[in-house]
């Protein structure tokens, strides 16, 4: 297992823990000091034990030096947090405190408040008062309040409080990690796809990110001038020849290329992979070779490659490059995945980034290609869909750049899974490679050749598919659908797969249906989907995505997450409680993007 320190050289944001207290001396404050600080320590310990940064290290918490009883101590904590690069704050208290004097007023970071549910001191009263202050000042904060009363001095964190602490912290860290990073466009607009018309105002105002751009001719320049590590290239090529199985060529005989041409294409796509990674994060080895400027990279936490058509009409496609970067391993070993969007669909790239930062797992990029009704499947194959697939399935399949983690050849508790890189073992890497083929690209689509990833995702994995859309006059809108990958009988899969391009990776996906709205049927999910692509993450993470979206002030247009799991800033209830979806739109419009 490896992890490139250079990739994360800027470090990670920390979690600021703010113990607030009743500032009245001569007995009141003194009686609460130990309990209040112990609550803060309990939260810090819990989060560090449960959560990790993308490099696998435990998250770091910073606790204010003293309990915060007034403005002076609040200012001292804010100064300490700024110096420590805190990216989000959690205020904890078992008692009444002076709301506007003790609150976190930094408008640029996510914030939550846990008011201890106890009878000895009115922690719930402070929680209500300070959340009202946050709303009045336009600084939305999340309120955390346990359902059950706890005894005074009990510093244990109830399970329902733990769930909200984790949901807020995962989402807040994602927001903080994205901030000041870059999205790198490698090329421009692919085939008129609106998502690859990169909207810099969205990235700046909603995500706090910058945009970087290079022309695809930069790949040619670096290959021609040798601006890559030649030793790593040789190592990578040996590994690829040993581990990447080349599958059958589906092109007509007169369009199939020679062995010599295919070998040249392998050399090119391996170089493209090295170059794309170096463009994103830099590479100190390049400085040693005399390329100091190129060694810096573009500080990109996500990227996209245009490919079609200006590149792929004359050069090998980017499928291998995108697949290997999106996967949790390569010739250097097991490592954290990158985020690279096919066709430079930056909006799907952001969706992949959301899923990655919430789970630390690789993401699948796919076309939302076809809805197969039960009647259609039975008519074409004679097979009757059952189980989660009984109401129809979606065929998620793209031009071949989905992460190899998407094979489902990793396991968790004996079931197919996609895991953070530090939980993956070498045997699972071998299984992923064995389950994948590299098919000579369809010349119909890719005149320049290359190789498309080909595999079938194993069934019974919980998955969440999302799409970020931009709507003129409204702004960004998120769609979320939780469901399961589906196993089909081999002959059924082959029959359906042959009706599209069988050289591409397939995921059969069954949405969870609620019987209402866009989730009345699997057809309704497909019919309401906002674009041609989707970003797919392992696990049912819809609730975390809703929390993340609310921090970023991005409304959620459709989701199938149960009501009791939805966690948004308390101020959202001021915009209506009967119809949370409408309230979400109104709140996001009212408060506006965090970085405007």
Find the CATH number of the domain harbouring 126: 3.40.50.1070
The pLDDT score that the predictor gives to residue 392 is: 97
For Cα atoms 174, 175, 176, give the angle at the middle one, nearest 5 degrees.
90
Using CA atoms, how far apart are residues 17 and 63, in angstroms rounded to an integer?
Answer: 5
- Asked if residue 398 lies in contact with residue 533, where contact means CB atoms within 8 angstroms, the answer is yes
Pair (340, 284) in one structural domain: yes
Instruction: Answer with the one of 178, 212, 240 that is the final residue of a domain.
Output: 178
Residues 160 and 265 in one domain: no
Which of 178, 208, 241 is the last residue before a domain boundary? 178
Active-site residue, 278 included: no
> Which residues, including other chains, have CB under 8 Å from residue 516's CB and lie 6 or more apart?
none
Catalytic residue among 367, 497, 524, 544: 367
Whether residue 371 lies inside any domain: the answer is yes
Q: Which residues pair with 454 in a beta bridge?
A: 437
Residue 460 lies in a domain: yes
Determine whether 555 is exposed, middle or buried from the number of CB atoms within 10 Å of its CB (0-12, 13-18, 19+): buried
Q: Are residues 171 and 201 in the same domain?
A: no
Smallest CA-to-CA distance from 581 within 552, 556, 549, 544 is with 556
Query: Does residue 387 sit within a domain?
Result: yes
Residues 174 and 234 in one domain: no
Q: For residue 53, give its domain range.
A: 14-178
In a domain, 2, yes or no: no
Instruction: Summarize the annotated binding site for Mn(2+) as residue ranges.
Output: 343, 367, 533
Is residue 208 located within the same domain as residue 171?
no
Cα dihedral 372/376/377/383 (nearest 10): 150
Residues 87 and 204 in one domain: no
Same domain, 212 and 336: yes
Strands 556-558, 61-63: pairing kind: unpaired
What does the alpha-carbon distance between residue 196 and residue 66 come to, in Å, rounded to a whole number? 49
Shared-domain flag, residues 343 and 400: yes
In terms of domains, do 275 and 366 share one? yes
Measure the CA–CA gap between 549 and 570, rounded to whole angstroms: 14
CATH number of residue 565's parent domain:
3.20.14.10
Number of structural domains, the chain?
A: 2
Three-state SS annotation for 552-574? HCCCEEECCCCHHHCCCCHHHHH
Between the CA of residue 449 and those of 104, 269, 308, 444, 583, what are the distances in Å? Answer: 56, 10, 12, 10, 50
The answer to whether residue 293 is catalytic is no
Domain co-membership, 163 together with 201: no
DSSP, residue by residue, 462-500: EEEEEEEEEETTTEEEEEEEEEEE----HHHHHHHHTTS
Q: Is residue 311 part of a domain?
A: yes
Query: Is 401 within the bounds of a domain?
Result: yes
Instruction: Give the Cα separation of 240 and 438 in Å (integer).
Output: 11
Whether 533 and 469 share a structural domain:
yes
Provide the pLDDT for residue 154: 72
- For the beta carbon of residue 252, count every other beta carbon within 10 angstroms: 9
Dist. CA 119–CA 429, nearest whole Å = 54
**End of a domain among 178, 193, 216?**
178
Q: Tell me, yes or no, whether 221 and 294 share the same domain.
A: yes
Structure pTM? 0.96
Q: Strand 475-485 to strand 556-558: parallel, antiparallel, or no bridges (unpaired)?
A: parallel
Question: What is the residue-level pLDDT of the chain in tens, covering all 596 positions?
Answer: 555 567 888 899 999 999 999 999 998 999 999 999 999 999 999 999 999 999 999 999 999 999 999 999 999 999 999 999 999 999 999 988 999 999 999 999 999 999 877 656 667 889 999 999 999 999 999 999 887 777 676 778 999 999 999 999 999 999 999 999 999 999 999 999 999 999 999 999 999 999 999 999 999 999 999 999 999 999 999 999 999 999 999 999 999 999 999 999 999 999 999 999 999 999 999 999 999 999 999 999 999 999 999 999 999 999 999 999 999 999 999 999 999 999 999 999 999 999 999 999 999 999 999 999 999 999 999 999 999 999 999 999 987 789 999 999 999 999 999 999 999 999 999 999 999 999 999 888 899 999 999 999 999 999 999 999 999 999 999 999 999 999 999 999 999 999 988 999 999 999 999 999 999 999 999 999 999 999 999 999 999 999 999 999 999 999 999 999 999 999 999 999 999 999 999 999 999 999 98
Nearest residue to 475 (alpha-carbon basis) of 569, 354, 591: 591
Which residue of the set 265, 319, 343, 524 is catalytic? 343
pLDDT of amino acid 446: 92
42 lies in some domain: yes
Residue 596 lies in a domain: no
């Amino acid at each position: 297992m490896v992890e490139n320190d250079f990739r994360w050289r800027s470090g990670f944001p920390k979690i600021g823990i703010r113990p607030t207290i009743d500032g009245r001396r001569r007995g009141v404050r003194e009686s609460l000091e130990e309990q209040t600080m112990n609550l803060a320590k309990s939260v810090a310990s819990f989060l560090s034990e449960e959560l990790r940064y993308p490099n696998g290290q435990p998250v770091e918490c910073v606790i204010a030096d003293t309990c915060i009883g007034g403005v002076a101590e609040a200012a001292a904590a804010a100064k300490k947090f700024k110096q420590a690069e805190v990216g989000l704050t959690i205020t904890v208290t078992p008692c009444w405190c002076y709301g506007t004097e003790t609150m976190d007023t930094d408008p640029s970071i996510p914030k939550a408040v846990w008011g201890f549910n106890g009878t000895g001191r009115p922690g719930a009263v402070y929680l209500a008062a300070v959340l009202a202050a946050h709303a009045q000042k336009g600084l939305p904060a999340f309120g955390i309040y346990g359902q059950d009363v706890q005894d005074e001095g009990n510093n244990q964190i109830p399970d329902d409080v733990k769930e909200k602490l984790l949901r807020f912290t995962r989402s807040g860290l994602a927001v903080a990690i994205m901030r000041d990073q870059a999205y790198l466009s490698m090329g421009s607009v692919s085939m008129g796809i609106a998502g690859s018309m990169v909207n810099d105002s969205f990235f700046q105002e909603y995500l706090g990110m910058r945009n970087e751009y290079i022309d695809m001719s930069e790949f040619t320049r670096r290959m021609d001038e040798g601006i890559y590590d030649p030793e790593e290239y040789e190592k990578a090529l040996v590994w690829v020849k040993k581990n990447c199985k080349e599958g059958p060529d589906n092109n007509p005989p007169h369009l199939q290329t020679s062995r010599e041409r295919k070998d040249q294409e392998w050399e090119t796509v391996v170089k493209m992979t090295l170059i794309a990674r170096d463009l994103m994060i830099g590479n100190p080895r390049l400085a040693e070779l005399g390329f100091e400027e190129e060694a810096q990279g573009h500080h990109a936490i996500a990227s996209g490659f245009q490919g079609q058509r200006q590149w792929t009409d004359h050069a090998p496609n980017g499928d291998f490059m995108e697949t290997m970067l999106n996967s949790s391993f390569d010739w250097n070993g097991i490592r954290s995945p990158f985020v690279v969007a096919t066709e430079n669909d930056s909006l799907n790239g952001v969706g992949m980034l959301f899923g990655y930062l919430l789970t630390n797992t690789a993401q699948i990029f796919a076309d939302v290609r076809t809805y197969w009704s039960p009647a259609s499947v039975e008519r074409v194959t004679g097979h009757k869909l059952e189980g989660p697939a009984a109401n129809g399935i979606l065929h998620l399949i793209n031009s071949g750049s989905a992460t190899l983690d998407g094979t489902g050849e990793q396991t968790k508790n004996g079931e197919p899974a996609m895991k953070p890189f530090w939980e993956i073992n070498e045997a699972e890497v071998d299984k992923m490679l064995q389950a994948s083929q590299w098919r000579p690209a369809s010349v119909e689509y890719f005149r320049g050749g290359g190789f498309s990833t080909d595999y079938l995702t194993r069934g019974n994995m919980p998955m969440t598919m999302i799409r970020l859309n931009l709507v003129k006059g409204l702004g960004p809108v998120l769609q979320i659908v939780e469901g399961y990958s589906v196993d089909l009988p081999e002959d059924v899969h082959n029959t359906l797969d042959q009706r599209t391009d069988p050289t591409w990776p397939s995921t059969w996906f069954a949405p969870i249906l609620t019987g209402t709205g866009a989730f009345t049927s699997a057809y309704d999910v497909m019919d309401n989907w906002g674009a041609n692509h989707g970003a797919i993450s392992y696990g049912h993470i819809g609730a975390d995505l809703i929390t993340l979206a609310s921090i970023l002030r991005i409304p959620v247009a459709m989701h199938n997450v149960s009501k009791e799991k939805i966690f948004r800033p308390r101020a959202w209830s001021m915009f209506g409680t009967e119809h949370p979806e409408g309230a979400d739109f109104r709140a996001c419009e009212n408060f506006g993007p965090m970085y405007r």
